[in-house]
Structures are given as C-alpha cells and as structure tokens.
Amino acid sequence: MHPYFQMIIDAYAAAQRPFFHQVTPGVARDMMSASISAAPKPTDLPVMASVNNENVQGPNGAIAIRRYLPEGGILGTCVYAHSGGWVIGDLESGDNLCRRLAGLASVEVISVDYRLAPEYPFPVPLDDVYAVVQWASGLGRPLIVAGESAGANLVAAAAIRARDEKGPAIIAQLLASPVTDHNFETESYRTIGDKNWLLSRADMEWFWGHYCAESDARNNPLVSPLRLKNASGLPQAMVVVSELDPLRDEGLGYAELLRTSGVPVSVIEGKDMLHAYFFAAGAIPEVAQSVADSASWLKNCILASNGVNNQ
C-alpha cells in the first residue's frame, strides 16, 4: 500500500472512526463532509473561468448541478457523477476532480448532485444522471461522461440507456473504480474485502442494501452493468482500477466485456492504490499522472470525433 493511504488508515484507526456499514446514512454523510472539510485544498488545481451552481429539471424534479468552465477553448461537455455508494457524497466531494478534468481535458464539466439512497433508491439516482445527460446534449458539443465508484456505475448505466433508448450520442466514458456487479465473491473481494482499506465488503453490502435491496432487481444491467449480455455499440471507455480495491476485478471484468463486444477500451491500474484513488492527486504524483492520462484520453476522444489527430 502507498504510504499516503496507510497514513489515512492509521489516522482513522487512532480517531476510532467507525466504518460506513456501522452507522446510519446520515452519519455516513456527515463523516464524508467532515473529511472533505478537514482536507487542505490542493494548490495545483487548474484555474476555472467560472464555476456556477444551477438546476436542471428531471422526472423527479429539480436536479442540482455545478458547471465548471475552464480557461481557454472548450472542446466538449463532460457529465460527471460523484462517488459514495449511491448513499453519500455531493457536489463538494467531486469538486477537485471536476476542476482537474475540466482544465486538463478542455471540457465543460457538469457535476450532478443526484438524489441519494436510501431515501431515493434505484432508479432515481440513475434517472437524475440520465436527465442531466439529456440536458447536456443540448449544449451542442461532443458529449462524454465520467464517474467514480457508484458514480461510474451511474454513468455506465446512462450510456446503456442512451444506446437502448436511442438517446444522446455519448462518445466516451471514463469509469474510475466502477461498481459493475453485485458479486461479492470475486478474487479481489476475497483477498481485500475484509481488510477495511477505506472500502470493505461489509460497506459495499450496506451500500447495495440501500440502493437496490432486492437481489433479483440487481441483475438488471442498469444496476449491474457487468450483467449486460451485449455491450456492442456502447461508447469507448477508459476504465481505471486500483490494485488494492475490492472492486478491482469487476472493473476489469467490465473492461473485458466491452472489449469482447468490440468496444475500444483502455485500462489504467493504480499500483499500490486503494479504492477511488483519484482524490489523492494533489498528494501523490502517480495519482496526478493517472488523472492527467485519463483527461488526455478524454480530450483525444473528442478531438478524434472532430477528425483531429492529437497523438
């Protein structure tokens, strides 16, 4: 494990910080907010021309979004969904990464404050994300989607909906530490799931129980994208996994499903990294490089869609 993550785990243990599965959703949200508030703001974030909070109308009412416009030219639009097991997280928890993606990929990033489980279980969070994807397609630029963990699950499902419903044309998807299945018996779950390294099997069972409690419903590919029988026609993908993440194998499994269905796929595996490691970009050069590589890939996808070769 990278020493930075060991430091975090040791600090949590010294403070006797409970695990997510040991508390209520409300307490878990407070824990997340406290961690974000206590963390120093990175000094290397790209400068934004503007950052504005707005609302988009969806099937469940108004959806809060945050729009990041970087300085310089705008090549495309990226709809982003934050991490948090569908239960925790908000616009603040994804703020740093949205700024990095906007500046490095030269895109307007639209972060979605989707409704959270258990108050709003499946399909409400997905409906919110998909509604913003539909709205963002009206901005008239090449459209990409990005997400982390449960957010990656939601944008992957939104891409499936867009394909099946003949919805917006999404040209690329960035899936970082994606939740793609409800199988807790993969090799990465067996070897890492009980170590409580920021995310555990017990945590994921808790998250799944809030988002989609019925086991039969979890087989729906919009809930578990790895259960998709045919992935052909989906957007090209960058899948980012962490070596020491219980979700590693289902992320790699989804990359392989896409690949065998004829979808172009690139994979980044963060060596010695824990789940959803992009948050450490301001502290670990290797993480900053992974974020930069992901943003460069997104930028190249957009340029290629416009007939420009940036290799």
Cis amide linkage into residue 59, ω under 30° from 0: no
Q: Give the span between the Cα atoms of 130 and 135, in whole angstroms.
A: 9
- In this structure, what token pair is assigned to residue 98? 């949205």
Residue 123, preceding bond cis, omega within 30 degrees? yes
* Cβ atoms of residues 112 and 141 within 8 Å: no
Are the C-beta atoms of residues 179 and 150 closer than 8 Å to each other? yes
149, 177, 188, 200: the catalytic one is 149
Distance CA(259)–CA(102), nearest Å, equals: 27
d(CA 48, CA 67): 10
Residue 149 designated active-site: yes
Between strands 170-176 and 143-148, the pairing is parallel
Residue count of the chain, please give it: 311
Active site residue 275: yes
- The SS3 call for residue 81 is strand
The active-site residue out of 245, 249, 290, 294 is 245
CA separation for the pair 248, 108 (Å, rounded)? 29
**Residue 223: strand, helix, or coil:** coil
Rounded distance, CA 46 to CA 129, Å? 25
The CA-based dihedral angle spanning residues 221, 275, 25, 66, taken in that order and rounded to the nearest 10 degrees: -80
The catalytic position among 2, 188, 275, 294 is 275
As a whole number of angstroms, the distance between CA 120 and CA 195 comes to 29
- CA dist., res. 223 & res. 89, Å (int): 19
The DSSP string of 204-218 is HHHHHHHH---TTGG
**Active site members:** 149, 245, 275
